[in-house]
Amino acid sequence: QVQLVESGGGSVQVGGSLRVSCAASGRTASPYIMGWFRQAPGKEREFVAAISRSGGTTYHADSVKGRFTISRDNAKNTMYLQMNSLKPEDTAVYYCAATTLVTITTAIYSESEYDYWGQGTQVTVSS
């Protein structure tokens, strides 16, 4: 079992920045492929970004590409999402997730492929 805990959410004005973190505990001896998803009010949860086990390969949704950056520090068992140039449409609950997939495939875009989830952290962008 792996436990994931997000932190760092909050409120920010349009154009501002936030960094959310995801700390993993439990069975973390071998890194997992991990990802960030978000869910806005009245909408389905959507893929934001994913990162390989080593951190050397990353994927970002088109809607956040160039503004958000996913990263990880395996020594600290922590993953990050740096969010810059925030827009009102980025307002959502952000969830981190881990998958037992061994290699990255297109499956990483699907929330059904993730086995462990955090409780979520609220990010609100106001104009």
DSSP annotation of 107: G
Phi-psi region of 7 (alpha: psi -120 to 50; beta: other; left: phi over 0): beta
Give the pLDDT of residue 21: 98
The DSSP line for 33-64 is EEEEEEE-TTS--EEEEEE-SSSS-EEE-TTT
What is the three-class DSSP state of 82?
Answer: strand
Q: Helix %, strand %, coil % for the chain, to 5?
A: 10, 50, 40
Give the pLDDT of residue 107: 86
Amino acid in the structure at residue 2: V
Spatial separation of the C-alpha atoms in residues 24 and 100, rounded to whole Å: 14
Q: What is the mean pLDDT of each run of 10 residues along the chain (127 residues)?
A: 95 98 86 96 97 95 98 96 98 96 87 96 97
